[in-house]
């Protein structure tokens, strides 16, 4: 089990890589501890991601996806795959997260991903998620033990691995094609995934949450955003993915995925996101979850 830490004011984030048997299903496990920040809260904007299951000990947390207003977040929350930014604010506390790859969604969740896209819910009362939510039972019992808690979560996930998933190899091919920066059209996507465009459309909506065209557009955008966020000496134009025609094309995507302009986003502070991106990059080799190349099952 490899791990890494990243620090920002009042924040400590530690990423734990899953064991080899879980790597085809999970990107990372991550622990965040927010220290004393006085009487206020920390606020940040999270880019689009795959689904994430998160557990919270005590602390108040509010979030809103896209244009949604801030709302209280359950202590055991599943956020489905997102195509818009998530604004959130938190106070002092501890948090654990499990980042699910699409194959992980298909294996651990009893529902279509498209039913959960761009929203979050209480995983303990959702019929499709209660088994997965159960991995967090007893997680925060006793004094803080990040290593032991990471093992606790992985043991819970392993108990769910005996489920049979239809089309496991097809899901893996689609995910591999999606993270390939040379794949820039739905026709190329279908060819690399070795299936018809219609079959690809159905599979993407069910397991990945969105249609192929939007998934490719999201990948292109996040490759560009990751470059910019990790190197602030770059301008937006310098960070653009080669699939963009021009800066105006990128700006349109920025409004679509982040619900604001690049200049407005650049003016915001990102105390949590920057710590998380740097830590994920060092531990997993990719700064963002959707850019993570899945291991073979």
* pLDDT tens by residue, 226-270: 988 888 777 888 788 888 888 899 999 999 999 999 999 989 999
Is residue 124 domain-shared with residue 14, that is, in the same domain?
yes
Is residue 209 domain-shared with residue 107, that is, in the same domain?
no
Q: Where would I find the H helices in 109-261?
A: 130-133, 146-158, 168-178, 186-193, 197-203, 212-230, 236-239, 247-258
What is the model's pTM?
A: 0.93
Is residue 97 domain-shared with residue 76, that is, in the same domain?
yes
Both structure tokens of 109:
């969740």
Is residue 124 domain-shared with residue 176, that is, in the same domain?
no
Q: What is the DSSP string of 44-92?
A: EEEPP-S-EEEEEES--EEEEETTPPPEE--SEEEE---SS-EEEEE-S
Is residue 160 domain-shared with residue 222, that is, in the same domain?
no
Q: Which of 165, 183, 209 is the last residue of a domain?
A: 165
Which structural domain range is residue 60 located in?
3-165
Is residue 217 domain-shared with residue 140, that is, in the same domain?
no
Per the prediction, the chain carries an average pLDDT of 92
Is residue 20 domain-shared with residue 134, that is, in the same domain?
yes
> Which CATH number is 145's domain given?
2.60.120.10
Residue 296 belongs to a domain: no
Residue 107 belongs to a domain: yes
How many domains does the chain contain in total? 2
pLDDT tens for 268-293 read 999 899 999 999 999 999 999 999 99
Is residue 145 domain-shared with residue 210, that is, in the same domain?
no
Instruction: Assign 123 to helix, strand or coil.
Output: coil
């Amino acid at each position: 089990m490899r791990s890494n830490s990243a620090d920002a004011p009042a924040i400590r984030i530690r990423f734990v890589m899953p064991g080899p048997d879980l790597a085809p299903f999970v990107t990372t496990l991550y622990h965040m501890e927010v220290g004393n920040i006085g009487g206020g809260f920390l606020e940040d904007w999270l880019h689009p991601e795959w689904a994430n299951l998160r557990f919270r000990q005590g602390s108040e947390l509010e979030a809103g996806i896209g244009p949604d207003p801030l709302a209280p977040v359950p202590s055991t929350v599943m956020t489905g795959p997102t195509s818009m930014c998530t604004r959130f604010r938190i106070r002092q506390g501890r948090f654990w997260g499990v980042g699910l790859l699409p194959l992980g969604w298909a294996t651990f969740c009893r529902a279509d991903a498209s039913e959960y896209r761009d929203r979050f819910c209480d995983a303990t009362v959702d019929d499709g998620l209660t088994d997965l939510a159960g991995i967090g039972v007893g997680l925060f019992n006793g004094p803080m033990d990040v290593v032991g808690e990471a093992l606790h979560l992985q043991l819970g996930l392993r108990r769910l691995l005996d489920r049979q998933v239809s089309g496991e190899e097809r899901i893996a091919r689609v995910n591999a094609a999606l993270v390939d920066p040379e794949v820039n059209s739905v026709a190329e996507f279908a060819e690399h995934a070795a299936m018809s465009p219609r079959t690809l459309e159905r599979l993407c909506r069910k397991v990945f949450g969105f249609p192929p065209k939007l998934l490719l557009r999201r990948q292109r955008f996040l490759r560009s955003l990751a470059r910019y966020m990790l190197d602030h000496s770059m301008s937006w134009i310098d960070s653009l993915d080669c699939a963009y025609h021009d800066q105006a094309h990128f700006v349109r995507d920025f409004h679509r995925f982040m619900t604001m302009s690049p200049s407005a986003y650049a003016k915001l502070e990102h105390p949590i996101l920057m710590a998380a991106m740097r830590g994920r990059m060092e531990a997993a080799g990719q700064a963002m979850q959707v850019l993570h190349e899945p291991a073979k099952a």
